Structure 1
Amino acid sequence: MKIYGYKDEGLDIEQIVPAELAEITLVASPDELRMIASFLKTAAQEMERMGEAYDHEHLSDKNEPYFDNSPHFVVAREE
Protein backbone atom coordinates (compact mmCIF):
# COMPACT_ATOMS: atom_id res chain seq x y z
CA MET A 1 0.00 0.00 0.00
CA LYS A 2 1.13 3.51 -0.77
CA ILE A 3 -0.48 6.80 0.24
CA TYR A 4 -0.33 9.88 -1.98
CA GLY A 5 -1.47 13.43 -1.42
CA TYR A 6 -0.78 17.09 -1.99
CA LYS A 7 -1.47 20.45 -0.38
CA ASP A 8 -4.40 22.54 -1.48
CA GLU A 9 -2.43 25.42 -2.97
CA GLY A 10 -5.04 26.64 -5.44
CA LEU A 11 -3.24 25.16 -8.44
CA ASP A 12 -4.97 24.03 -11.62
CA ILE A 13 -5.48 20.27 -11.76
CA GLU A 14 -2.87 20.01 -14.54
CA GLN A 15 -0.21 21.52 -12.25
CA ILE A 16 -0.79 19.18 -9.30
CA VAL A 17 1.73 16.41 -8.71
CA PRO A 18 0.87 14.07 -5.83
CA ALA A 19 3.67 13.14 -3.43
CA GLU A 20 4.04 9.88 -1.56
CA LEU A 21 3.16 10.39 2.11
CA ALA A 22 4.54 8.65 5.18
CA GLU A 23 1.43 9.24 7.29
CA ILE A 24 -2.13 10.52 7.06
CA THR A 25 -4.49 11.73 9.74
CA LEU A 26 -8.27 11.56 9.31
CA VAL A 27 -10.10 14.15 11.36
CA ALA A 28 -13.64 12.83 11.16
CA SER A 29 -16.78 12.12 13.13
CA PRO A 30 -17.83 8.55 13.97
CA ASP A 31 -20.52 8.77 11.25
CA GLU A 32 -17.97 9.93 8.68
CA LEU A 33 -15.62 7.10 9.65
CA ARG A 34 -18.45 4.58 9.20
CA MET A 35 -19.20 5.98 5.72
CA ILE A 36 -15.50 5.80 4.81
CA ALA A 37 -15.29 2.22 6.10
CA SER A 38 -18.32 1.26 4.03
CA PHE A 39 -16.83 2.97 0.97
CA LEU A 40 -13.54 1.08 1.43
CA LYS A 41 -15.30 -2.27 1.81
CA THR A 42 -17.39 -1.66 -1.31
CA ALA A 43 -14.32 -0.48 -3.24
CA ALA A 44 -12.45 -3.67 -2.29
CA GLN A 45 -15.35 -5.81 -3.50
CA GLU A 46 -15.55 -3.85 -6.76
CA MET A 47 -11.78 -4.11 -7.23
CA GLU A 48 -11.96 -7.90 -6.84
CA ARG A 49 -14.94 -8.14 -9.18
CA MET A 50 -13.39 -5.99 -11.94
CA GLY A 51 -9.78 -7.16 -11.62
CA GLU A 52 -7.41 -5.35 -13.98
CA ALA A 53 -10.25 -3.21 -15.35
CA TYR A 54 -10.64 -1.43 -11.98
CA ASP A 55 -8.97 1.99 -11.97
CA HIS A 56 -10.15 4.24 -9.12
CA GLU A 57 -13.17 5.55 -7.18
CA HIS A 58 -13.88 8.78 -5.29
CA LEU A 59 -15.57 8.79 -1.88
CA SER A 60 -17.52 11.92 -2.83
CA ASP A 61 -18.99 10.17 -5.89
CA LYS A 62 -20.37 7.37 -3.71
CA ASN A 63 -21.63 9.55 -0.84
CA GLU A 64 -23.04 12.62 -2.56
CA PRO A 65 -23.59 15.28 -1.36
CA TYR A 66 -22.13 14.54 2.08
CA PHE A 67 -18.44 14.67 1.10
CA ASP A 68 -18.76 17.19 -1.76
CA ASN A 69 -16.87 19.90 0.16
CA SER A 70 -14.31 17.55 1.72
CA PRO A 71 -10.80 16.81 0.48
CA HIS A 72 -10.77 14.20 -2.28
CA PHE A 73 -10.54 10.66 -0.94
CA VAL A 74 -9.62 8.30 -3.77
CA VAL A 75 -9.04 4.54 -3.84
CA ALA A 76 -6.90 3.24 -6.72
CA ARG A 77 -5.87 -0.24 -7.79
CA GLU A 78 -2.35 -1.29 -6.84
CA GLU A 79 -0.15 -1.75 -9.88
Structure 2
Amino acid sequence: MTNTIELEIAIKRAGFTKRELAKKLGLSEMGLYKKINNITEFKASEISTLCEVLSIENKDEIFFAQKVEFNSTKNQQAACREVS
Protein backbone atom coordinates (compact mmCIF):
# COMPACT_ATOMS: atom_id res chain seq x y z
CA MET A 1 0.00 0.00 0.00
CA THR A 2 1.36 3.41 -0.94
CA ASN A 3 1.78 6.03 1.77
CA THR A 4 0.09 8.83 -0.14
CA ILE A 5 1.21 11.63 2.16
CA GLU A 6 4.89 10.67 2.00
CA LEU A 7 4.76 10.29 -1.77
CA GLU A 8 3.06 13.68 -2.18
CA ILE A 9 5.78 15.24 -0.02
CA ALA A 10 8.52 13.60 -2.13
CA ILE A 11 6.89 14.93 -5.31
CA LYS A 12 6.72 18.46 -3.88
CA ARG A 13 10.33 18.34 -2.66
CA ALA A 14 11.56 17.22 -6.07
CA GLY A 15 9.65 20.05 -7.75
CA PHE A 16 7.73 17.90 -10.22
CA THR A 17 4.12 18.19 -11.25
CA LYS A 18 1.99 15.08 -11.41
CA ARG A 19 1.57 15.70 -15.11
CA GLU A 20 5.36 15.54 -15.58
CA LEU A 21 5.61 12.38 -13.47
CA ALA A 22 2.78 10.69 -15.33
CA LYS A 23 4.58 11.37 -18.61
CA LYS A 24 7.87 9.96 -17.27
CA LEU A 25 6.04 6.82 -16.15
CA GLY A 26 4.08 6.45 -19.38
CA LEU A 27 0.79 6.90 -17.54
CA SER A 28 -2.18 9.18 -17.91
CA GLU A 29 -2.69 11.72 -15.15
CA MET A 30 -5.71 9.71 -13.99
CA GLY A 31 -3.60 6.53 -13.99
CA LEU A 32 -1.02 8.19 -11.74
CA TYR A 33 -3.76 9.59 -9.49
CA LYS A 34 -5.18 6.09 -9.03
CA LYS A 35 -1.79 4.68 -8.10
CA ILE A 36 -0.94 7.49 -5.67
CA ASN A 37 -4.32 7.06 -3.95
CA ASN A 38 -4.18 3.24 -3.71
CA ILE A 39 -6.91 2.54 -6.23
CA THR A 40 -4.42 0.59 -8.35
CA GLU A 41 -0.89 -0.57 -7.51
CA PHE A 42 2.43 0.71 -8.79
CA LYS A 43 4.49 -1.71 -10.90
CA ALA A 44 8.04 -2.45 -9.76
CA SER A 45 9.41 -0.54 -12.77
CA GLU A 46 7.31 2.51 -11.87
CA ILE A 47 8.56 2.42 -8.27
CA SER A 48 12.13 2.21 -9.54
CA THR A 49 11.61 5.18 -11.87
CA LEU A 50 9.94 7.26 -9.15
CA CYS A 51 12.75 6.53 -6.69
CA GLU A 52 15.31 7.65 -9.25
CA VAL A 53 13.44 10.74 -10.47
CA LEU A 54 12.33 11.90 -7.02
CA SER A 55 15.54 10.86 -5.21
CA ILE A 56 13.54 8.67 -2.82
CA GLU A 57 15.69 6.80 -0.34
CA ASN A 58 12.93 5.40 1.89
CA LYS A 59 11.00 3.44 -0.74
CA ASP A 60 9.79 0.80 1.70
CA GLU A 61 8.11 3.44 3.87
CA ILE A 62 6.41 5.01 0.84
CA PHE A 63 5.54 2.10 -1.44
CA PHE A 64 5.27 -0.82 0.95
CA ALA A 65 3.46 0.70 3.92
CA GLN A 66 1.57 -1.91 5.92
CA LYS A 67 -1.05 0.50 7.19
CA VAL A 68 -1.88 4.01 6.05
CA GLU A 69 -4.53 6.03 7.83
CA PHE A 70 -5.97 9.37 6.86
CA ASN A 71 -8.32 11.31 9.07
CA SER A 72 -9.20 13.61 6.23
CA THR A 73 -7.83 15.02 3.02
CA LYS A 74 -7.12 18.22 4.95
CA ASN A 75 -4.27 16.45 6.75
CA GLN A 76 -2.83 15.36 3.41
CA GLN A 77 -3.09 18.87 1.98
CA ALA A 78 -1.56 20.40 5.11
CA ALA A 79 1.42 18.03 4.94
CA CYS A 80 2.04 18.96 1.31
CA ARG A 81 1.83 22.70 2.06
CA GLU A 82 4.44 22.33 4.83
CA VAL A 83 6.97 21.17 2.24
CA SER A 84 6.33 24.11 -0.10
The TM-score range, normalised by the shorter chain, is: under 0.3
Q: Give me the TM-score of the superposition, normalised by structure 1.
A: 0.27
TM-score normalised to the size of structure 2?
Answer: 0.26
More helix by share: 2
Greater RCO (Cα-Cα under 8 Å, separation 6 or more): 2
Rg larger for: 1
> Whose strand proportion is higher, 1 or 2?
1
